[in-house]
């Protein structure tokens, strides 16, 4: 059940026109990974945008639509939950639940039971709600 399909479609459409941002010179040296790093040298060609064959720089204009930011690929908003009070503030029709890293198994089980009752979408349950 995907919600916000139109927002996700718009985000995907904008992403199609976005270049693949790769680390400068990563195509030249094996030791450099392709994940993005900003060029910071004073004479760096890509930073100065001097030559045409270089890939583009990451800039604010390449951002996606503002109303689709923070959406999980399922269409629900992604919300961190640490306790039952956090869960009570959310709406199961549009909000998804992601447990915080510091939530232990005992409290996680309690929250999962209530989240399933209220029909929340849970992104990282890691616990079977039934049983124990």
Domain presence at residue 49: yes
At residue 5, the 3 state secondary structure works out as helix
Higher per-residue pLDDT: 128 or 6: 6
Residue-wise pLDDT tens digits, 71-119: 999 999 999 999 999 999 999 999 999 999 999 999 999 999 999 999 9
Among residues 46, 23, 18, 42, the alpha carbon closest in space to that of 33 is found at 23
Q: Is residue 8 part of a domain?
A: no
Structural domain count, the chain:
2
| Residue 114 falls inside a structural domain | yes
- Is residue 19 packed enough to be buried (19+ CB in 10 Å), middle (13-18) or exposed (0-12)? exposed
Q: Are 52 and 25 members of one domain?
A: yes
**116 domain-assigned:** yes
Within a domain: residue 130? no
Q: Give the residue numbers spanning the domain of 49.
A: 19-62
Asked if 86 and 115 sit in the same domain, the reply is yes
State the pTM of this model: 0.73
User: DSSP letters along 71-120, please?
Assistant: B-TTSSEEEEE-SHHHHHTS-TTTEEEEE-TT--HHHHHHHHHHHHHTT-
pLDDT digits (tens, 9 = 90+) for 40-69: 999 988 888 877 777 888 989 999 999 999
Residue 12 domain-assigned?
A: no
């Amino acid at each position: 059940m995907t919600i916000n399909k139109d927002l996700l479609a718009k985000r995907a459409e904008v992403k199609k026109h976005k270049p693949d941002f790769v680390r400068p010179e990563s195509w030249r040296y094996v030791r450099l990974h392709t994940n993005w790093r900003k060029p910071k040298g004073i004479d760096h060609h890509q930073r100065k945008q001097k030559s045409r064959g270089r890939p583009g720089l990451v800039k604010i204009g390449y951002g996606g639509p503002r109303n689709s930011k923070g959406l999980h690929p399922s269409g629900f908003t992604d919300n961190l939950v640490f306790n039952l009070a956090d869960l009570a503030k959310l709406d199961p029709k549009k909000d998804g639940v992601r447990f915080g890293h510091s939530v232990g198994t005992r409290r996680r089980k309690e929250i999962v039971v209530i989240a399933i009752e209220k029909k929340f979408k849970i992104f990282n349950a890691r616990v079977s709600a039934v049983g124990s």
